[in-house]
Amino acid sequence: MHHLLGRLSTSDPEAGDSLRVVAYFDVLLARGSGVDGLLRGAAVLAGCTAGAETSGRVRRRDPDGKRPVENPGAPRAPRRSGSDWAVWLERDGPGSALDEMIVERLAFGVELLETHRTPTGFDAVIDEARPLAERAKRLARFHLDPSTPVRILATASDGPELGVPSAVMPTRYGLLRATLDVSGRLETPGATGIGPWVRADHAPESWEGACIAFRLTDANDPVVDASDLGALLMLLRTHDPQAPHKDVRALARLDDRSAHVLRTLVEADSIRSAAATLGMHHSSVQARHEALVETLGYDPRTNIGRMRYIAAALLQRLTDTPAER
């Protein structure tokens, strides 16, 4: 499947995108996601609110997985319906070429779930859109008291299950596996984001931190603990990839060489030592520094400038931010 997707992306981008939508929903269904999980996935793919009505109950999710405010006048298109269910997207403005496919697969999944009445599993425990009382009730299925300290681990969606409660969840960063850790000794293979310790009935807070931490992993730091981020975690939680801060956009506009020079300037004790590290003449690095100050709007070698750079660099890693045109 992955090989086919790659070939189609090159020869026929639209067909490749359609297959990715199909594969996305197939993974959600295979991993036991309920209607809410499918709605979150549809909203992430479409970039707008997705809704469903099943057995007279209306549920809606926005791309962040939250329940959006009621909007009676919002268009519900495309839309699919069956004998006791309906699904739709709520988009203001022109639709996406993939909207029909997204709703088609959402409809398939909802109809399948309505037919088999698959119970909601661990995904309900880490769903911040569910009321606290409901999450606490769900915890009983996993023999957990609401006050039990837990943390959630985020790993790649195709990673192995570890014999503890877990679920594949759609996030703004794609599909990720959420795994419950109550011992603090659970080890996962590959890149892992570790959420902070919280009460079990506040598990969504740990899941949010785990997703952010996972996004910050790389070859040098394959495991990132959100607790190690300290106050920075508060900043990262407020980041909107769709509306990044101007400091993030400024970094996104830099070419690879300029970004490398900037990082070296920030980390070096002096411009002269930065020049030695880069293998460049001191005057050339000085000129680069002055040009970067002009581009960024601040001096990255001052204390405040370093903090601005570090914050912007972390926020940039949470999303692929296109350069401002």
Residue that the structure tokens 């809410």 belong to: 36
- pLDDT class for 94, splitting at 50, 70, 90? confident
pLDDT tens digits, 128-182: 878 888 888 889 888 999 999 999 999 998 888 888 999 888 887 778 899 999 9
Q: Return d(Cα 293, Cα 195) in angstroms, integer.
A: 36
Give me the domain span that covers residue 37. 2-118
If asked whether residues 207 and 232 sit together in one domain, one would say: yes
- 94 lies in some domain: yes
Point out the domain boundary residue: 118, 146, 161.
Answer: 118
More reliable by pLDDT, 22 or 222: 222
If asked whether residues 129 and 104 sit together in one domain, one would say: no
- 135 lies in some domain: yes
If asked whether residues 89 and 171 sit together in one domain, one would say: no
More reliable by pLDDT, 31 or 82: 82
- Which range is least confidently modeled, 5-14, 177-186, 280-289? 5-14
Please tell me the predicted confidence (pLDDT) of residue 15.
52
Please tell me the predicted confidence (pLDDT) of residue 173.
77
Please tell me the predicted confidence (pLDDT) of residue 286.
95
Q: In the predicted model, is pLDDT for residue 1 greater than 60?
A: no
Q: In total, how many domains does the chain have?
A: 3
Please tell me the predicted confidence (pLDDT) of residue 67.
86
- 325 lies in some domain: no
Please tell me the predicted confidence (pLDDT) of residue 2.
39
More reliable by pLDDT, 264 or 17: 264
Please tell me the predicted confidence (pLDDT) of residue 22.
87
Please tell me the predicted confidence (pLDDT) of residue 116.
59
Point out the domain boundary residue: 118, 144, 161.
Answer: 118
- 217 lies in some domain: yes
Compute the residue count for the chain.
325
If asked whether residues 131 and 222 sit together in one domain, one would say: yes
Please tell me the predicted confidence (pLDDT) of residue 197.
97
Point out the domain boundary residue: 218, 237, 256.
Answer: 237
Average pLDDT over residues 39-44: 92
Can you list the alpha helix ranges (DSSP code H) found in the chain? 2-11, 13-30, 35-46, 99-116, 132-139, 203-215, 232-237, 246-252, 256-267, 271-278, 282-296, 303-317
- pLDDT class for 49, splitting at 50, 70, 90? very high
AA identity, residue 24 = Y
- 213 lies in some domain: yes
If asked whether residues 257 and 205 sit together in one domain, one would say: no
On average, the pLDDT of the chain sits at 86
- Which range is least confidently modeled, 2-16, 24-38, 229-243, 261-275? 2-16
Q: In the predicted model, is pLDDT for residue 275 greater than 70?
A: yes
pLDDT tens digits, 195-230: 999 999 999 999 999 999 999 998 889 999 999 999
Please tell me the predicted confidence (pLDDT) of residue 322.
38
Cα dist from 109 to 16, 38, 68, 86, whole Å: 20, 7, 22, 11
- Which range is least confidently modeled, 40-54, 163-177, 197-211, 305-319? 163-177
Taking a C-beta distance cutoff of 8 angstroms, is the pair 142, 180 a contact? yes
- pLDDT class for 117, splitting at 50, 70, 90? low
- 171 lies in some domain: yes
